[in-house]
Amino acid sequence: MRRADRLFRIVEYLKARRETVTAKELGEELEVGVRTIYRDIADLKASGVPLTGEAGVGYLLSPNYVVRPLLFDDEELEALALGAQMVQSWADPAMAQAARRALDRITAVLPESLGDTIRDSTSYAYPSSGKPSLQIDFTSLRRAIRTRHVVEFAYTDHNGSETKRHIRPLAMIFLAPHWMVAAWCELRCDFRHFRLDRMQSMNVLTRQFQHEAGKTLKDMRQQSEGD
């Protein structure tokens, strides 16, 4: 994380909270040492950010400090809060942390009264005991979609048959309680959906793929709409 991004993240994190936050907590959130946090806090104060507190006690950002204007209505805020909780409950740890950061970023730039709408939301999403366990790295699979890397894995279908697959991952689909990856399957030479809980021994290959006519996410959607 660039230093400028880290400083902005500190402001967002503190703005989203009403109680003091220790340097240790900030360091764990941003994955840096306490000494780095102390230097960052000093620089933020020097630049005019209204921070109170001290080392060993914790820091608090004035509730009147405005990061930038951003307005939503109550229904939109409740939907955002609930959506972030659902991501935290059902997605992988990296995406769960991203959801928390995103909600903090939104809360940080809201007026105090609207920030209360998120903090006091009456809609909740808790982790479910029905969440299937995975034997693959969910985060690596998501990133392979963005970087267009071919993925190989062993797959067991609903009949118990096992095959070895090489796919071009195109999108993640959540059909509660299951996550699926939509892909171009090189074995079947067609689009396929694979449940993540049926995948094993997954590897992201160094081989990348380029978009080809008839094998893209857009093509898959058009094919689905035509069925």
Q: Report CA-CA distances (Å) from 169 to 110, 127, 156, 220.
A: 37, 26, 18, 12
pLDDT of residue 119: 73
Portion of the chain with pLDDT greater than 70, in percent: 95
**More confident of the two residues 167 and 52:** 167
Within a domain: 113: yes
Examine residue 104 and state whether it is found in any structural domain, yes or no: yes
Domain that holds residue 173: 138-226
The CATH number of whichever domain residue 17 belongs to comes to 1.10.10.10
- Residue 227 predicted with pLDDT over 80: no
96 within some domain: yes
- Gap between the Cα atoms of 118 and 144, Å rounded: 33
Confidence band for 80, pLDDT divided at 50, 70 and 90: confident
Task: Indicate whether 185 and 150 sit together in one domain.
Answer: yes
Name the one residue in this structure whose structure tokens are 């840096």: 32
User: Is there a single domain that holds both residue 143 and residue 220?
Assistant: yes
Nearest CA to 13 out of 58, 72, 55, 79 is that of 58
- Shared domain check, 187 and 165: yes
- The token pair that represents 225 in the structure block: 């709409």
pTM listed for this prediction: 0.65
Percent pLDDT > 90 in the chain is 54
Residue 69 inside a domain? The answer is: no
CATH number for the domain including 154?
2.30.30
Residue 146 lies in a domain: yes
Task: Determine, yes or no, domain membership for 68.
Answer: no
Answer yes or no: do 146 and 220 share one domain.
yes
Q: Pick the range with the lowest mean pLDDT from 41-50, 116-125, 153-162, 191-200.
A: 116-125
More confident residue, 50 or 126: 50
Number of domains in the chain: 3
Buried b (16+ CB within 10 A) or exposed e, 146-184: eeebbbebebeeeeeeeeebbbbbbebeeeeebbbbbbb
Task: Tell whether 160 and 94 lie within a shared domain.
Answer: no
User: 21 in a domain, yes or no?
Assistant: yes
What number is the average pLDDT over the span 160-180?
95
Is 103 found in the same domain as 42? no
Task: Please tell me whether residues 22 and 92 are part of one structural domain.
Answer: no
**What distance in Å separates the CA atoms of residue 132 and residue 122, rounded to the nearest whole number?**
27
- Regarding whether 144 and 213 lie in a shared domain, the answer is yes
